[in-house]
Amino acid sequence: MDKTGPTLRAGTASTKSPLAGSRMEGAGAAGPRPETKRARSVCIVSGKGGTGKSSVSASLAALFGRRGATLLLDADLGCANAHILQDVHPTHSFADVIAGDVGVADIVTPCANGVDLLAGGSGFARLAGLRSYELEMIGRGLEQIEPGYEYLVVDSAAGLSRQTVAFAAACDVTVLVTTPDVTAMTDAYAFLKVFVRQCAAQGIERPMPLIVVNRASDEVEAAHVAQRLQDVVSKFLGLPIEFLGFLPDDRAAFRAMQRRATVVDGEPDSELARALSTLSCSVLARLARVPSPGAGLRLARGGDWGRES
């Protein structure tokens, strides 16, 4: 049995790529760098907005930070808010990197308890539609600083943009957050469909995202939601996806956010904090099983992920 879970193979799901073959881990223009340790990376995505990506990312980063240096990358570029839950006021963001004023290493903002932040920049519409070479530039900068971290957590933008898929495809593991809302489930499926198609078009093999059901009333409801999504993905994409875990609907999320704290730090005794702790163990177990050449390397390798024109 494949212990790394379901893997998306190039050319699956009626997404024939014009590119011959597929790029394997460690291959590519930048070449393998086996001698350098890279941060193990997880990308949190959803499709629909407001499903809890930033809340989950912030708590995972806080929990990982207790184990080793952790970098939180706010990939909600132009509409970023991960700095709020870290209670920091970054002076620089990816807006400055794209403007060519500074490098990625220059925008690292130290937060508390072993977590550093790469801020996404707020109020810059241009950042939501980067070109491929700009994503590669971010990848090269990330590659330089990744060896200083054990873990990288990427908090994604909502939606199906090519750059959101690029960040997801760059990370070792992708977690797809949905809620029981039918609109969130529909958009979760839409994300999976686009992810599968774009990875195939790029000719790369990536593991399928793992489902997390947030704001569920209980485990039974979460399992039901996951099963419905699994059935649709199996029927229309012909691929299996795994249910990683569930998070309860809990007012602690709101209370922590109001205090600019993560749930695990600000509401440590809540049911949600306990579930996040369980989820972080599941993510860590996944990260231990998959290759980790570095998210920066995967982004820097290039590909037609950016805005067209």
Ligand X SMILES: Nc1ncnc2c1ncn2[C@@H]1O[C@H](COP(=O)(O)OP(=O)(O)OP(=O)(O)O)[C@@H](O)[C@H]1O
**Count of CB atoms situated within 10 Å of the CB of 235:** 8
User: Closest approach of Cβ 282 to ligand X, in Å?
Assistant: 16
**Nearest CB to ligand X, comparing residues 51 and 202:** 51
Cα(197)–Cα(40) distance, integer angstroms: 25
**Which stretch, 49-57, 112-120, 194-202, 247-255, contacts Mg ion (CB under 5 A)?**
49-57
Q: 153 - beta bridge partners?
A: 42, 72
CA 193 – CA 229 distance, rounded (Å): 12
Q: Which of the choices ligand X, Mg ion, none does residue 253 contact, using the CB cut-off of 5 to 8 A by kind?
A: ligand X
257 binds, among Mg ion, ligand X, none (CB under 5 to 8 A by kind): ligand X
Consecutive H or E run containing 230: helix 219-237
* Short-list 299, 297, 290, 295, CA closest to 3: 290
Could you say whether residue 54 binds Mg ion (CB under 5 A)? yes
Residue with Cβ nearer ligand X (107 or 177): 177
CB of 272 to ligand X, least distance (A): 5
DSSP state of 209: P
Shortest spacing between CB 76 and ligand X, in angstroms: 5
Q: Could you tell me which of 14, 78, 20, 2 has the C-alpha nearest to residue 237?
A: 14
Binding residues for ligand X, rule: CB under 6 A, are 46, 49-55, 76, 158, 214-215, 247, 249-250, 253-254, 257, 272
Q: Which residue's Cβ has the minimum distance to Mg ion?
A: 54
| Residue 254 contact, options Mg ion, ligand X, none, Cβ 5-8 Å cut-off depending on partner type | ligand X
With contacts defined by CB under 5 A, name the span among 53-61, 146-154, 183-191, 289-297 that binds Mg ion: 53-61
Question: Minimum distance between the CB of residue 101 and ligand X, rounded to whole angstroms?
Answer: 26
Helix (H, G, I), strand (E, B) or coil at 26: coil
Q: Give the shortest CB-296-to-ligand X separation in angstroms.
A: 23
- One DSSP character per residue, 275-304 reads HHHHHHHHHHHHHHHS--S-HHHHHHT--S
User: CB-wise, 49 or 238, nearer to Mg ion?
Assistant: 49
Q: Single out the residue of 268, 248, 266 nearest to residue 257, CA to CA.
A: 266
Cβ nearer to Mg ion, comparing 53 with 286: 53
Contact 174, 207 (CB under 8 A): yes
37 or 260: CB nearest Mg ion: 260
CA-based nearest residue to 177, from 152, 205, 220, 209? 209
Residues that bind Mg ion (CB under 5 A): 53-54
